[in-house]
Structure formats: structure tokens, C-alpha cells
Amino acid sequence: MLFALGTPVIDYMIPCPTVQIKAYDLEKGVPNFRPMGIIERIISENEVIVNCPGDNARNVCEGLSFLGSGCVYYGATGTDDEADYLGGLVNEADIPNILLKCDGHTGKIATLISEDKERTFVVDMGVATTIDSLSDEAKQKFDSSDYFYTTIITHFTEDSIACLSSELLEKSKIANKKIVFALESSSLCKLKKKEILALISRHEPLLFGNEQELNAIGGVAEVRKHTPFVVCKQGANGATIYDGEKTAKINPIKTAVVDTTGAGDYFNAGVLHGLMEGKSIGECGKIGAELAARCISLYGARLR
């Protein structure tokens, strides 16, 4: 069973031309952290195609649950109406979860989809990053888990959840759990390169990232000196999975591309499901590709 520490948010999918993204003074194609007022203004000024739960860890848990693997998604929402809405969406997706309610507002992301299908994220994490401990129920689930999942944004954010991520990494190491670490932002990878490489060397996680993220911390060859299992996602070119001396090139599955949001997360889920089932890395990658293809045929990070 996998225990995932996440940052629950509501993701608003909005078609938005590049010229308008520039007018909002946003860096195209990456997360842009802005106050909630700016996000709500962007949402109100544009047509929202769909809103759905966001967060890398949540997406991975949805994928695992969809495939029948055990998981628990742990995070914090606010005390606003959006918290109940988000919790309902997570439950509808059949994701086993423990979502704590904390004073404040639930996180939101305006995902702006430009004419080239690139996504630009405008983010306010709300109370999601303020969680600093495990509830009693979450502690029981964590203790009984075999895998611990965290991400670069969760681990290096300047808030309480970063300390919790560090604590759970150390406990996982002591308990010989398999640690899964996902790279999410090439700019953050570049900024925290030394710290990330040190973390990888210490914990030797199952490491997931795309080419840009892995290149930002030295490239695949360098990263493989620090941990034996590396997944390099290459977008339309598929992915390559490295496990010690073994390598598997994974081809993408052709499908009509509607929106690529979350595709990499669902690929992670498919690979992890395969590992839990004892499959070869080639078989794991194929499951990941199938799940990613299902995701990109829909708007938003979802499988249904």
C-alpha cells in the first residue's frame, strides 16, 4: 500500500491565448504563484471548461485506485465551501483519503491552456501546505504502508508540510519502506539542485521526472549515480525507465489529445502499480502509458 502526502487543490481548466497569458504577466508553461484574489479574477474573467481536483499525489492515488492498488491520500483543505466540494470530488474518484480541515481557504489553481496545448498554472496553495503532522488515522495508515510518496514542491515549499515530508522520509528510511520522489518543476529543480541530489543520495528513491526536470539537476546519467531507479518522461516521445543495469524504452499510446494535464502523474501511477504487482519495468511502463493516454483524452487531471 502507498501512502501519499499531498496538497489538495481545485483545478480550474481555462482556454487562454498566449497573448492573454502575457497580459496577466505570467511565465508561460510553468507554475506561477499568485494571491487568491488574482486567481479568482482570472477565473471570473474567463470561461472555465471544467474544474476538478488537482495535485500530483492525488492524481497518482486516483490512478492506483483505478488499477486496484492500495493507497491513501493525505492532505489538508480549508473550512470553506470549496473544501466540501473538493472532498466530494476526491470521494467520487474512489480515492481512499484522509483530508483534514484547517482554518483558512482551500487551494486553487487556474490552469490556462494556450492554443499550442501548453499549460500555464496560476497557483495559491491555501492551507494545503500548512499541515504539520499526521492524524491518528493517518499515522496508522502510514505505519502499515509499503511505499511513501512525496514531491519536490511538497518537500521544498516554505511551509510546515516540508517539515512533515522530511520527517516521513526519515521514518520511511528507518522502516525500509520504498520511497517515491516526484520532480514537478524544472525551475525549482534548478534552484534546489544540490539539495535534491543530496536527498536522492540519502534515500535512493524511485525517482520520477520529465527530461527538463532531470536535466535541471544534472541529467539522467548524473542522477543514476545517486539512485538506481529513474523514470525519464519524454512527453510525446514516451519515456525511458532505468532500473540498475536494466533499461526500458516506453512508446506512447496514440490517442486524440485534448489536454495533457496530469498525464505524467498517471504515468507514475501505472508504473508504481506494475511494480507493486511484480512486473518488469517494460510492463510497468506500458501500464503507465495506457493510463496517461486515458487522461489526455479528457479535460483536467482525471480518468473518468
Domain boundaries, the chain: 2-7+55-103+125-296
Q: Are 66 and 303 in contact (CB under 8 A)?
A: yes
What's the DSSP call for residue 245? T
Judged by average pLDDT, the poorest of 224-238, 257-271, 275-289 is 257-271
Per-residue pLDDT for 259 more than 80?
A: no
Q: What is the pLDDT of residue 302?
A: 85
Distance, CA of 116 to CA of 285 (rounded, Å): 27
Per-residue pLDDT tens digits for 212-222 = 999 999 999 99
Q: Are 26 and 122 in contact (CB under 8 A)?
A: yes
Quote the Cα angle for 240-93-161, to 5°: 70
Q: Are 205 and 197 in contact (CB under 8 A)?
A: no
Cα torsion through 224, 226, 231, 237, rounded to 10: -40
Distance, CA of 241 to CA of 239 (rounded, Å): 7
Kindly report the backbone phi and psi dihedral angles of residue 62, in degrees, each rounded to the nearest multiple of 5, phi listed first: -60, -45
Per-residue pLDDT tens digits for 82-97 = 999 999 999 999 999 9
Quote the Cα angle for 57-236-191, to 5°: 55
Judged by average pLDDT, the poorest of 51-60, 179-188, 255-264 is 255-264
pTM recorded for the entire structure: 0.93
Per-residue pLDDT for 285 more than 80?
A: yes
User: Which superfamily is assigned to 2-7+55-103+125-296 in CATH?
Assistant: Ribokinase (3.40.1190.20)
Return the C-alpha cell found at 30: 510553468
Quote the Cα angle for 284-58-118, to 5°: 80
Helices (H), 179-240: 186-191, 193-203, 211-216, 220-223
Q: What is the pLDDT of residue 160?
A: 97
Per-residue pLDDT tens digits for 124-167 = 999 999 999 999 999 999 999 999 999 999 999 999 999 999 99
Per-residue pLDDT for 118 more than 80?
A: yes
